[in-house]
Amino acid sequence: MSAYQDVVENIAQSCKKSGRDEKAVHLIAVSKTYEVEDILPLLDLGHRQFGENRVQESQKKWPDLQQDYSDIVLHLIGPLQSNKAAEAVALFDVIHTVDRPKIAKALAKEMQNQDRFPKLLVQVNTGEEVQKAGVLPADLSGFLKQCDEEFGLKVEGLMCIPPVDEEAALHFALLEKMAQQHNLAECSMGMSSDYDKAIALGATMVRVGTAIFGQRATIK
């Protein structure tokens, strides 16, 4: 069994244990730093959802693959600069990292221009870490209201990256609660080390890199 198939199997087990519908949990294979040759075996196995965290790196890797496999779902899971909004809208199907008015505004403009409407998630800085991207929990309601009323953006879910030194489950539970409060369907949470917990706590998208592809050469 490949590492990928192990992860798929673990996800099925986690769903069974926590009474979740397997179809409601999507595995995003995080291929950042990995090459097209590393991605092809997953495509051969029928996997179609992939995550990247840099626009530029993705532009080198994905357009040809998107031509060959029209049903690829490409997720941007890393920070987005507003000067990359056009490229991001053109390339990605889901953007997990909307986290400030400037980005929301730039995405809204590009989505209209290109008539392309990626699914949008708001990143929440659940650990309130100064160095980390994301809207603070206290600012989430206001930001969602602004996305809707000022920019006409439909936000469909929330995403978080828990602090490395804290119990991830607390952050997953908080994100799930906030998504419920705001009637948002998608919860993007859980990585290689904790996707089982995230599934138990309501994740609809888990972002798994190293458990599938192996340890990355550089930390990104």
Q: Given the complex with ligand PLP, which of 53 and 126 has the nearer CB atom?
A: 53
Q: Does 10 bind ligand PLP (CB under 6 A)?
A: no
When binding is defined by CB under 6 A, the residue of 53, 58, 126, 204 that contacts ligand PLP is 53
Distance CA 11, CA 204 (A): 11
Q: Given the complex with ligand PLP, which of 62 and 151 has the nearer CB atom?
A: 62
Near ligand PLP by CB under 6 A, which window of 3-11, 82-90, 165-173, 206-214? Answer: 206-214
Near ligand PLP by CB under 6 A, which window of 19-27, 34-42, 107-115, 208-216? Answer: 208-216
Near ligand PLP by CB under 6 A, which window of 12-20, 63-71, 178-186, 201-209? Answer: 201-209
Q: Given the complex with ligand PLP, which of 151 and 209 has the nearer CB atom?
A: 209
The footprint of ligand PLP (CB under 6 A) covers: 30, 32, 53, 77-78, 161, 191-192, 207-211
